[in-house]
Structures are given as C-alpha cells and as structure tokens.
Structure 1
Amino acid sequence: MAVVSVLQVIWLVSAIGLIILVLFHSPKGDGLGALGGQAQMFTSTKSAETALNRATWLLTILFMGITVILSAGWLGNSVSELPTSVEAIPIEETAPPIEETAPAVETTIPADLESPETPGEAAE
C-alpha cells in the first residue's frame, strides 16, 4: 500500500473519531459525565472532560495536518499533476456537428389552416 493510501485511511479514521468526540462534548460541560458507566473510569467529571478535550485536540491536529499534506501534494499523487489549462485536456469529437444532423424545418403554412379562436370568443 502506498504512503498516500495509508495517510488517507488515517485521515478518514481521524475524521470519524473527531466527529464522535465532538458529539461526546456537552454544552453544559458534563460531556462524558452524563454517560454514567463510561465516566466511572475517571475520578471525576472534570478529569473526563479534560481527557475528552485532549483527545479532541489531538485528533484535530492530526486531521488538519494530514489534510494539508494530502492537499499540498508533497507525497506525489496530487492535484498539481493535473493539466493546468483547458487546452491541455484532450477532447474527442464523438458526435457530428449539429448542422449535419438537424432535420429540415418546414417554413410554409398550409392555406387550408383556419385561424385559431381567441379564448374570449364563444364557439358556435
């Protein structure tokens, strides 16, 4: 497996972990303390929140760092290897020009065609 693929897997795992950790945070500050049995491995709610904050910051730094590395293309497979102008992209013509395929349009109106009725007129 290439280095880029390994980094992409780590990047994906850190993104999912970051989402989960952010969802564990509580706006009131109880966070993991509200989960009951999970928080008993910590001595207090304060230590649970501190551990949650540290893990969240660690995954945030990891996620952002890998994002910069992957997007900058420092490892080879990058966006910078793509063509920089539209002219550099090869274009294949698969359909003939429109003028050759358009059917002839009849421009004359038959003489026996009656004028249409206007919506206000009553039919007799």
Structure 2
Amino acid sequence: MVVTVLQVVWLVSSIGLIILVLFHSPKGDGLGALGGQAQMFTSTKSAETALNRATWLLTILFMGITVILSAGWLGDATAELPVDAFPVEDVAPAPAADTIPSGLEAPTTSGETSE
C-alpha cells in the first residue's frame, strides 16, 4: 500500500517537474511569457523565484522517492500480490532429441555448428 502511494506521488511529481521545467525560459521570461499568469505575483522576478523554488522542491521529492523505491527499503513490491495474480499458462514441453526429424540438427548450447 505504501509502495503504491509512493509510486503515485512519484508519477505526479515527475509530470509536474516536466511541466515546470518547460515553463522556464532561457531568456528569463519564464511565466511572464504566459501573459496573465505572472500577474498573480508582484513582479516577474517573484514569479521566477516561485517557479525556481517549486522546481527544486519537485526535483528533491522526485529524486528522494526514486532512491527509496529503487533501493527496496520498503520491501518487495510484488510480495503484496496474491499467488494467482499472474497465472501461468500451460506450455507444451519441448520435443525430445530423438523425435527430431532426420536432416535437422538440434541446437547446440556452445554456439558452435557441427560440420
């Protein structure tokens, strides 16, 4: 349950981080280029400051959750699944070596061909 919640937060933070990075402008325009969006702040500089803080916050959140999920500190995520979660289909066994038709060779495991 905790792993699932962290995965959802991780996904939302990654999407938010992508959006915030796209809002940044290389010329310093940033949110000012969106027209009325920057008017909710007192100036363009405060809009850029808020954008930078939000970007850093999401970056730290994303990286932290990435480390936690990849390190496996919360246990194996598949351990919570029931045994029948992934049913195995019946697979026919491979034919025995003596049932291979003449003229065909059985594959070798060493990668060498018999000539």
TM class, shorter-length: 0.7 to 0.9
Q: SS state of the match for residue 51, structure 1? A: helix
Q: TM-score, normalised by structure 2?
A: 0.72
Q: Which residue of structure 1 lines up, in the alignment, with residue 100 of structure 2?
A: 102
Deviation at 1:78, TM superposition (A): 5.6
C-alpha distance after superposition, 1:64-105 (max 9, x if no partner): 0000000111111269xxxxxxxxxxxx982124x3343223
Which secondary structure state, in structure 2, belongs to the residue aligned with residue 27 of structure 1? coil
Identity of aligned residues (%): 82
* Contact 1:71-1:78 at 8 Å conserved across structures: no
Q: CA RMSD in A?
A: 1.9
What is the CA–CA distance in structure 2 between the aligned matches of 1:34 and 1:100, rounded to whole Å?
A: 75
Q: How many equivalent residue pairs?
A: 91
Tell me the equivalent position of 1:42. 41
| Partner residue in 2 for 1:25 | 24
Question: Gaps spanning 5+ residues in structure 1: where?
Answer: 80-91, 106-124
For the residue of structure 1 that corresponds to 2:52, the secondary structure is helix
Cross-structure match for 2:4: 5
Counterpart mapping for 1:81-96 below 5 A: 94-96=93-95
* Aligned 8 A contact 1:4 1:75 in 2: yes
Say whether the 8 Å CA contact 2:31–2:37 is kept in structure 1. Answer: yes
Please tell me whether Structure 1 or Structure 2 has the larger radius of gyration of its CA atoms.
1
Whether contact under 8 Å (2:30, 2:48) holds in the other structure is: yes
